[in-house]
Amino acid sequence: MDFFEQQHHARRQSRLMVVMFLFSVVVIVAALNLLGAVVWALATERPLSMGSGLTGAIPKGLFLVITAVTLAIIAFGTLSTLYRLSAGGAAVATMVGARLVPRDSKEPLERRLLNILEEMAIASGISVPQAYVMEDERGINAFAAGYSPNEAVIAVTRGTLENLNRDELQGVIGHEFSHILNGDMRLNIHLIGVIAGIVMIGALGRFLMSSNRDSSNDYRYRSTGNRYRSSSNRDTDMRVFLVGLGLWLIGSIGVLAGRVIKAAIARQREFLADASAVQFTRNPEGIGAALFKIGQQGGAIGSRHAEDLSHMYFGESVSNMFSMLNTHPPVEQRIERLMGPGAQHLLRDRIRRQPREPDAVAAAQTPGTGGFGGQAAAMEDMGAMPIAARQGGAALSASGWGGAAAMVNTTAQQVVDSVGKPTQEHYQAAQRVLQQLPANLHVATRTRTGARAVLFALLLGDGEVRGAQLAGLRRNHVEEIARQAQEFIEPLRRLGPRVRMPLLELALPTLKELPQEERDAVLARVKELIEADHKVTLGEFVLLTLCRRHLGQAINGAPPVKHKSIDSAAAEAGIVLSLLVHAGRGDAAAFGQGMKALGLTASVPRPPAELSIAAVESALYELKLLAPLKKPAFIKACLAVVMADEKLTVIEGELMRALCAALDSPLPPLLDSIEPVH
């Protein structure tokens, strides 16, 4: 299955889960109505008989009230939980008490984790996930959470950091990246919400039993002159207790059914994630050894939410009496699938001889963070600015991107096939990128001041334009940032153009840690730098698109599928294809090829004046809501336009990566696009 099929399969499993959930709700409602009938009979001392006598003897509104109250309780539990988790992966990590690891952390084990995340994120074509550590958890475990690949977080236990070497940690993180790319995170969060609704029924039953017992004891021993309760009061207590007991039993059975469903879905996804991690790292011994250590040392989680998140962890987080409740296949079975029969004996011997990896991990000195002055200016006026065509003087080198004529040797099918499917070659390419980065630039991306400086340096032009841009930064009380940005200009020019996009991808996650007010201020400065020469080049549009995606106001929850066919988004597709035409050779025939690839009627591309930033961004948002299986056709159509001359320039390739990111379809680096720096 390719990336889009995996996304479709995950959505289909979500729908199946909803059907199972609704069936469970129907059974629970029926059981509670039966319980209500029994309690009513006990309260009125009327015998119940089967047939018409049963419903005839019970008030007509009783079943309606029981059904309405039950549905309200379940809906409240599910919706309140999903609302609490709508903020995405960070909300899930906070729920288990995990601590955010700052991007400039110098703690050796945390630095190693951050380095691995950077490598895998660049190789995958997604934003570097935020890292969290569960400090109080000594077991070996980890999880990924979020609603989309570019908003994911990865949390690991302290035991994972301390007990795994780099290869083993790399295997665990590769497994979690597979969950990110396979669409499992959204499904996992929905599972939490579904079961939370059913749990509410059992929780209400426990509350009734507990409160009844407490009130009974309190009444019995109060000094009221009458030590014992009346017979009617005892009967009432008994009925309340029975109602609570019934609710608890029915709720427990519902929860049990929900956990069986959760376990069945999760076990299937774990084998896939293991296999994908090996394809990514080509090191089955890394993840195999991590699994072996979990089998030996355990991966138990002490948090009260361990069961709620049991299906999200790398290994079993709770012990279960019955194997059908296990959310993960047995460790032995997972190892055998990865490495073949007898692998455990091999791993045992190797781990026994394995020297303890030194804790020291390179952590370069980082500049101190500083404030970022200035108020966030309104950006609506920029939305009307057209994007300059290449013929219109869009000198890409003037915006710090350069190398517009450099070519990438690839085919359209290779590009589409690589979406969401990073390989070892992509991982090695990402490592080469990081090795080529000058140390001062790489370290700068990890600090809030340095990341701003790197971002702004990518937008600095030449001559008078640069002078005006730097003066604007100084006017907004960012003298230190302006100074650093000026220092970075020459190192950026020496870098190959293909390395600058990954540099931006390293800086943006650091800026994402800023409060929203400061992120708005960064976006305002980006706007001013782009407007300095009164046009928006293609390179600037790529940068602006990524900045707004990562630093703009977060949209909670998962976006639904809106367009099941490209026909309902034909106008939006035409806008994006028109942009690509004017960014390339400006050939109307290329536009016709793209429209034909989508099965749409060919027409002339829109003129550049109509391709405002606001129009293009609105079109991209609508196209993001395409059904997963419809996105490959659109990406192929885009490639048909940019490769109409059977060539793909570096800037066109990076534009394709930005477009894919906007579609939640992460595109890894184009494999031959990593060249050595001379």
Confidence of residue 633 (pLDDT cuts 50, 70, 90): confident
SS3 622: helix
Q: Whole-model pTM?
A: 0.80
Calculate mean pLDDT across residues 390-400: 34
Calculate mean pLDDT across residues 408-422: 77
DSSP secondary structure of 454-518:
HHHHTT--SHHHHHHHHHHHHHTT-HHHHHHHHHHHHHHHHS-HHHHHHHHHHHHHHHHTS-HHH
Calculate mean pLDDT across residues 296-313: 91
Digit-coded pLDDT (tens) for 32-78: 888 888 877 777 766 655 555 555 567 778 888 888 988 998 899 88
Asked whether residue 577 carries a pLDDT value surpassing 70, the answer given is yes
**Alpha helices, H only, 58-183:** 60-84, 89-95, 108-124, 158-163, 166-181
Q: Per mean pLDDT, which of 24-28, 215-219, 310-314, 660-664 is the most reliable?
A: 310-314
Strand order in the sheet with 130-134: 99-100, 130-134, 153-157, 142-145
For helices 166-181 and 231-281, give the axis angle rounded to 10 degrees.
Answer: 110
Q: What percent of the chain has pLDDT over 70?
A: 80
Q: Which residue from 7, 447, 24, 381 is spatially nearest to 200, judged by alpha carbons?
A: 24
Digit-coded pLDDT (tens) for 322-375: 788 888 989 898 998 888 887 777 787 777 776 665 544 443 333 333 333 333
Pairing of strands 130-134, 142-145: unpaired
Confidence of residue 405 (pLDDT cuts 50, 70, 90): low
Q: Which residues contact 405 (CB under 8 A, 6 or more apart)?
A: 649
Tokens encoding 47 = 């015998």
What are the φ and ψ backbone dihedral angles of 145, each rounded to 5 degrees? -145, 150
For helices 166-181 and 108-124, give the axis angle rounded to 10 degrees.
Answer: 40
DSSP 398: G
- Taking residue 265's Cβ as centre, other Cβ atoms within 10 Å add up to 21
Q: Could you tell me the CA-to-CA distances from 640 to 142, 182, 504, 610, 624 in Å, in that order?
A: 41, 26, 27, 22, 19
Region of poorest pLDDT, from 41-50, 142-151, 277-286, 312-321 = 41-50
Q: Which residues of 105-135 are buried (b: 16+ CB within 10 A; e: fewer)?
A: bebebbbbbbbbbbbbbbbbbbbbbbbbbbe
- Taking residue 541's Cβ as centre, other Cβ atoms within 10 Å add up to 23
Asked whether residue 134 carries a pLDDT value surpassing 60, the answer given is yes
Asked whether residue 568 carries a pLDDT value surpassing 80, the answer given is yes
What are the φ and ψ backbone dihedral angles of 159, each rounded to 5 degrees? -60, -35
Calculate mean pLDDT across residues 225-234: 53
Region of poorest pLDDT, from 51-65, 133-147, 565-579, 616-630 = 51-65
Pairing of strands 130-134, 153-157: parallel
Q: Could you tell me the CA-to-CA distances from 445 to 104, 312, 651 in Å, in that order?
A: 9, 30, 22
Confidence of residue 232 (pLDDT cuts 50, 70, 90): low
What is the pLDDT at residue 283? 86
Catalytic residue status for 176: yes
What is the pLDDT at residue 362? 40
- The CA angle 100-111-666, to the nearest 5 degrees, is 70
| Residues 468 and 456: beta-carbon distance below 8 Å | no
Confidence of residue 113 (pLDDT cuts 50, 70, 90): very high
Indicate the residue type of 462.
Answer: D
Tokens encoding 611 = 């391709």
Digit-coded pLDDT (tens) for 450-486: 999 999 998 888 888 888 888 888 887 678 888 899 8
Active-site residue, from 137, 151, 176, 270:
176
Indicate the residue type of 630.
Answer: K
